[in-house]
């Protein structure tokens, strides 16, 4: 079992599901393969099977032990001998290595061994199985097409698991999921299948219209009911109830996600949307909220109800950089006169890291990385990949190719040598996310990955915030909630927008240190840091507003620990311990608007 342990002693953990891969046995088999290479398995030899009393052929104990001594599990050897039939010992070895490479351990099927589940730090906001598989990154080349019944049944069980996940966890209709499998194929990742269902739903709904308006009902969602005892809010916002909510996760409500996730418009003009905001949503202040796009069913409908029924803008950062990052943004910013950061960042792996091209195999079709995570692959995992390729011909068998590609996509591995892959370095992640070099340097490597994995993609956010530059030529005052390592602040700085005052609220001391260090090196305004969003009361907000003259922008992205698909034990939606902090974003924004309206 591979363990992912944070440097922090109090960090939570969650489990990654695997395909039954036995890390130890694969390592042992691979390390023993150098001895196998010196043997002539094409030479004739004694039969590996003996007959029992009924005349049925069974493998002999000595022949089984020979392969067990090489490091293969006994159950795997028995299965491989059965599937191999009377073929040569060479083909038996290849079959055993293929089983190991693709994680097809027969002990899983026979119920005699438990799954190996690597662990990672629970604080991840992006280690999402859905997030980690880009919709354009599905396998384009080789596919595993073994013809045995066992492989077919194993493949079908994987399809069933995907269908169950999409139906039971994400809440899609089973019929639509089945159709998505038919359209995309049984090898399609959960992310691809989810996008296919969304696309199908969008095609039949109103949200595919290029002139959507926020005051229209979209995605079949119901308008929320006013909160009881909310007369004070009705008075504040012109008599209309704000912050309506039913069940927090809105289990009876769904919101269609666009495919592709291009938002309301992109720098290349791929799509353009006109919208009219409800009166109570119009600034000041402007506000900007972010979270993961592929949240549990009903989450975005609930978030939208609380934030003035504004339609989310769903954007994948792969249109801005060389890595995918599917996010939803709810804001009241203008949509016209947006402009991207210059120079434009590279949008492919080879443009971002040209040194990798020398080693990139032709059978790896990736041109962009998947969502950047808060943890990375272990050295043991990288060694298993190297040995699997070293002990294979060039190009490797299709089963080995599929195994390697799955690992490369899951962990965003880059080719750095012959048969050698490695995770992205923290400074490479900084580059992809739009942060300045060494922005997170000075803390532990594990903390750097965690902080970067939980951050904004600066170029994407800056494109949305760029409309503020001409509106605030003398600078603006910012209330930054859940600031992290300052993605919003870096975006404003790179746009050339002066920040006169920033009230930053961030729980992590490490992140506060990163932001303060960057601020002291680059800014002339005033930074005030607060450690806990729950302590930011209306009284404190009023004191800040009177002191600085009000906020021009309220920006933030609340934790998504209970929204990300990888957190299967605590994927509780907005009722979760961490993700429920969204309601503090709403509470604080509500208070700011009310206080500023009275001044």
Active-site residue numbers?
560
3-state secondary structure 15-51: ECCCCCCCHHHHHHHHHCHHHHHCCCCCCCCCCCEEE
Closest CA to 588 of 534, 529, 507: 534
Q: Please say whether the beta carbons of 349 and 110 come within 8 A.
A: no
Looking up tokens 């943004």 gives 329
Distance CA 296, CA 249 (A): 8
For the beta carbon of residue 57, count every other beta carbon within 10 angstroms: 15
Question: In the Cβ-directed half-sphere of 308, how many Cα atoms lie within 13 Å?
Answer: 25
Closest CA to 483 of 585, 338, 369, 378: 585
Distance CA 172, CA 81 (A): 41
Nearest-10 crossing angle of helices 445-453, 509-522 = 80
Tell me, what DSSP letter sits at residue 369? B
Distance CA 315, CA 459 (A): 12
Question: In the Cβ-directed half-sphere of 541, how many Cα atoms lie within 13 Å?
Answer: 26
Helix (H, G, I), strand (E, B) or coil at 292: strand
Q: Which two tokens stand for residue 161?
A: 């698991």
Distance CA 172, CA 97 (A): 37
The string of DSSP letters for 118-138 reads -EEETT-SS--TTTTS-TT-S
């Amino acid at each position: 079992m591979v363990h992912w342990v944070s440097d922090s002693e109090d960090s939570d953990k969650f489990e990654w599901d695997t395909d039954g891969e036995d890390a130890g046995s694969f390592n042992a088999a691979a390390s023993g393969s150098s001895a196998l290479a010196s043997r002539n398995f094409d030479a004739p030899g004694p039969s590996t099977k003996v007959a029992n009393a009924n005349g049925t052929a069974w493998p002999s104990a000595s022949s089984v032990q020979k392969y067990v001594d090489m490091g293969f599990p006994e159950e795997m050897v028995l299965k491989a001998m059965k599937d191999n039939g009377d073929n040569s010992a060479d083909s038996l070895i290849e079959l055993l290595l293929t089983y190991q490479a693709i994680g097809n351990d027969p002990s899983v099927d026979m119920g005699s061994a438990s799954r190996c589940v690597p662990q990672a730090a629970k604080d991840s906001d992006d280690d999402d199985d859905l997030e980690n598989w880009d919709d354009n990154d599905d396998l384009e080349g080789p596919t595993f097409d073994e013809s045995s019944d066992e492989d077919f049944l194993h493949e079908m069980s994987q399809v069933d698991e995907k269908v169950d996940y999409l139906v039971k966890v994400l809440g899609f209709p089973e019929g639509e999921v089945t159709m998505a499998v038919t359209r995309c194929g049984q090898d399609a990742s959960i992310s691809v299948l989810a996008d296919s269902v969304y696309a199908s739903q969008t095609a039949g709904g109103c949200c595919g219209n290029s002139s959507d308006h926020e005051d229209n009902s979209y995605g079949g969602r119901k308008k929320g009911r006013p909160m009881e005892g909310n007369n004070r809010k009705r008075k504040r916002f012109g008599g209309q109830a704000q912050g309506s909510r039913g069940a927090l996760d809105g289990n009876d409500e769904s919101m269609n996600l666009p495919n592709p996730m291009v938002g309301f418009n992109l720098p290349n003009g791929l799509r353009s949307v006109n919208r009219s905001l409800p009166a109570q949503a119009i600034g000041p202040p402007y506000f900007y909220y972010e979270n993961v796009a592929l949240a549990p069913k009903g989450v975005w409908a609930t978030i939208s109800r609380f934030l003035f029924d504004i339609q989310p803008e769903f954007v994948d950062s792969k249109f801005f950089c060389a890595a995918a990052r599917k996010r939803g943004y709810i804001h009241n910013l203008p949509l016209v006169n947006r402009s991207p950061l210059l120079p434009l960042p590279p949008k492919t792996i080879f443009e971002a890291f040209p040194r990798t091209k020398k080693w990139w195999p032709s059978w790896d079709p990736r041109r962009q990385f998947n969502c950047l995570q808060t943890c990375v692959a272990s050295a043991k995992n990288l060694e298993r990949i190297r040995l699997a390729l070293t002990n294979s011909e060039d190009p490797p068998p299709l089963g080995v190719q599929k195994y390697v590609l799955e690992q490369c996509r899951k962990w965003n591995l880059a080719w750095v040598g012959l048969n050698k892959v490695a995770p992205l370095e923290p400074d490479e992640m900084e580059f992809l996310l739009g942060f300045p070099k060494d922005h997170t340097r000075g803390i532990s490597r594990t903390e750097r990955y965690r902080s970067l994995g939980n951050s904004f993609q600066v170029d994407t956010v800056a494109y949305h915030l760029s409309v503020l530059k001409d509106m605030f030529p003398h600078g603006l005052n910012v209330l930054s909630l859940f600031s992290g390592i300052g993605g919003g602040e870096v975006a404003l700085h790179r746009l050339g927008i002066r920040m006169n005052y920033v009230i930053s609220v961030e729980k992590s001391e490490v992140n506060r240190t990163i932001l303060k260090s960057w601020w002291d090196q680059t800014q002339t305004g005033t930074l005030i840091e607060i450690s806990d969003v729950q302590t930011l009361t209306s009284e404190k907000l009023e004191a800040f507003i009177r002191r600085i003259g009000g906020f021009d922008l309220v920006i933030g992205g609340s934790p998504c620990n209970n929204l990300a698909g990888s957190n299967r034990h605590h994927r509780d939606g907005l009722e979760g311990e961490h993700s429920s902090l969204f309601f503090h974003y709403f509470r604080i924004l509500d208070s700011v608007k009310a206080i500023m309206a009275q001044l």
